[in-house]
C-alpha cells in the first residue's frame, strides 16, 4: 500500500507508491508505444464509476485508475517517524476517458466534449466530497506526451487526497489573511483590476475571464477565473459549465494556432473540503467568501529545468503582457 510522507524541513507531502513501479513503463525515459489503446474500448470492462451516454453510444466514462497512487480501501492512519510524519495512502484515483475519439489534440476537443468533461469533474467532486477521509479533490488533464500523458487517448484524472496540497494551502492562507483584513476576496479584487487594465486579459465570455497571470511561472500560461465569486468548482451550475467549455475551447484553439498544437496541462484549483473536517488553524472559517476557484491552462513548450528543481523558481522567457497580446491577436485556424 502507498503512503504519504512529510519531510519536516520543507513541510511537503510526497506519495510513496511502490505499486506504481509495476507499471510497464514506470522507469523508462519514454513510455513504450502500446499496440492497443486501453481506452478506445471504454476501459476494457473496468468498473464504470460515472458515464455519459449519447445517441451513438458512450461519450465519456470514468473508471478506476489501474495503477492508482492512492488506495480507496482502508482507514486513514497517522503516525510519526522520528521528526517525520506519515499517513496511510488513502485516496481515490479515477481516470476520465473524455471521449471515444482516439488521439485528440487540445484544439480538437468539441465544446460538447469539454462540457461532458466538466460535468464529470463536478459529479465526481460532489460524490467524493461525501467521504470524510478526503480533504481535497484534484481534477486535471494532460494532453500530449510532453505534458505527461502516457496514453494518446484523451483522458483526465480525479485524485481525492487526505491532505490539502501545498500549493492550495499557500493560496488558502493568502486569501484568508486578505479576507481577515478587508472582508473582500483577493481574487475578486485582482480580477477587477485585470479587467480594468486589460493588458493581460486574453478572452472573456459572460461568466469567465481568461488572463496571463502577472507573475506567470510558465510562458503562455493562462488562468480562467469565474467573474462571479465562487469558492468551489463543484457548485458551478450547468450554464456556467457551458461557458467554461466555450472559453476553454477558445484558449485551446488560440494556443494551438500560436504554438503549433503544443502539449497542454489543465488543472482546476478549488477550495479544500470543509464540512465535518477539522480546521485547526482556522483557514477554512470563511473559505466560502475568501477563496476563489479557477482553472489553469499551461502549454508545455519548455523542457525540464534544473534551475526550477534547484530553486523552486522558474524563469519565464515571455512577458505575460506580451503572451496575452499574442493570444488575443492570433488568428484561430
Ligand atoms: Zn484510444
Ligand atoms: Zn472572489
DSSP annotation string for 193-213 = HHHHH-TTEEEE-SSEEEE--
Taking residues 65-94, report their average pLDDT. 89
Q: Distance between CA atoms of 16 and 23, rounded to whole angstroms?
A: 15
Q: Distance between CA atoms of 4 and 85, rounded to whole angstroms?
A: 8
Question: Separation of 13 CA from ligand 2 center, angstroms?
Answer: 28
Q: What would the pLDDT profile of 93-126 be if each residue is shown by its tens digit?
A: 999 999 999 999 999 999 999 999 999 999 999 9
Taking residues 163-172, report their average pLDDT. 92
Q: Distance between CA atoms of 140 and 261, rounded to whole angstroms?
A: 19
Cβ atoms 25, 31 nearer than 8 A? yes
Q: Distance between CA atoms of 143 and 256, rounded to whole angstroms?
A: 12
**pLDDT over 60 at 138, yes or no:** yes
Q: What would the pLDDT profile of 197-221 be if each residue is shown by its tens digit?
A: 999 999 999 999 999 999 999 999 9
Please give the grid coordinates belonging to residue 5: 510522507
Our count of domains for the chain comes to 1
Smallest-distance ligand from the CA of 35 = 1
Taking residues 131-154, report their average pLDDT. 90
Question: Separation of 39 CA from ligand 1 center, angstroms?
Answer: 5
Question: Separation of 49 CA from ligand 1 center, angstroms?
Answer: 19
Share of the chain above pLDDT 70, in %: 95
pLDDT of 26 reads 43
Query: Which phi and psi (to 5°) does residue 74 adopt?
Result: 110, 175
- CATH number assigned to the domain comprising residue 98: 3.30.428.10
Alpha helices in 108-237 (DSSP H): 111-128, 166-182, 186-197
**pLDDT over 80 at 273, yes or no:** yes
Q: Distance between CA atoms of 255 and 316, rounded to whole angstroms?
A: 17
Poorest-pLDDT segment among 32-36, 47-51, 178-182, 239-243: 32-36
Q: pTM score, two decimals?
A: 0.93
Task: Print the domain residue range for 79.
Answer: 3-329
Taking residues 175-189, report their average pLDDT. 96
Amino acid at each position: 500500500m502507498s503512503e504519504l510522507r512529510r519531510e519536516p524541513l520543507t513541510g511537503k507531502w510526497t506519495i510513496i507508491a511502490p505499486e506504481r513501479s509495476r507499471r510497464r513503463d514506470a522507469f523508462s525515459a519514454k513510455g513504450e508505444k502500446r499496440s492497443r489503446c486501453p481506452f478506445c474500448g471504454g476501459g476494457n470492462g473496468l468498473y464504470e464509476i460515472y458515464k455519459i451516454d449519447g445517441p451513438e453510444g458512450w461519450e465519456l466514462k470514468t473508471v478506476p485508475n489501474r495503477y492508482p497512487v492512492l488506495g480507496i480501501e482502508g482507514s486513514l492512519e497517522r503516525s510519526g517517524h522520528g521528526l517525520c510524519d506519515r499517513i496511510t495512502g488513502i485516496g481515490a484515483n479515477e481516470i476520465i476517458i473524455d471521449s471515444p475519439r482516439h488521439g485528440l489534440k487540445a484544439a480538437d476537443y468539441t465544446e460538447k466534449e469539454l462540457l461532458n468533461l466538466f460535468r464529470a469533474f463536478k459529479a465526481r467532486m460532489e460524490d467524493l466530497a461525501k467521504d470524510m477521509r478526503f480533504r481535497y479533490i484534484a481534477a486535471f488533464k494532460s494532453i500530449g506526451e510532453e505534458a505527461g500523458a502516457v496514453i494518446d487517448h484523451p483522458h483526465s484524472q480525479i485524485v481525492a487526497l487526505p491532505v490539502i496540497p501545498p500549493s492550495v494551502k499557500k493560496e488558502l492562507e493568502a486569501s484568508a489573511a486578505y479576507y481577515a483584513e478587508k472582508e473582500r476576496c483577493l481574487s475578486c479584487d485582482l480580477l477587477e483590476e485585470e479587467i480594468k487594465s486589460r493588458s493581460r486579459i486574453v478572452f472573456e465570455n459572460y461568466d469567465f475571464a481568461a488572463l496571463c497571470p502577472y507573475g506567470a511561472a510558465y510562458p503562455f500560461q493562462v488562468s480562467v477565473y469565474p467573474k462571479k465569486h465562487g469558492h468551489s468548482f463543484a457548485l458551478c451550475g450547468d450554464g456556467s459549465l457551458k461557458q467554461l467549455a466555450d472559453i476553454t475551447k477558445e484558449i485551446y484553439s488560440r494556443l494551438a494556432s500560436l504554438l503549433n498544437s503544443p502539449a497542454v496541462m489543465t488543472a482546476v484549483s478549488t477550495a479544500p473540503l470543509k464540512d465535518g473536517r477539522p480546521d485547526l488553524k482556522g483557514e477554512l472559517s470563511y473559505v466560502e467568501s475568501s477563496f476563489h476557484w479557477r482553472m489553469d491552462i499551461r502549454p508545455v513548450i519548455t523542457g525540464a529545468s534544473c534551475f526550477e528543481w534547484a530553486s523552486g523558481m522558474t524563469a519565464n522567457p515571455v512577458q505575460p503582457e506580451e503572451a496575452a497580446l499574442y493570444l488575443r491577436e492570433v488568428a484561430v485556424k
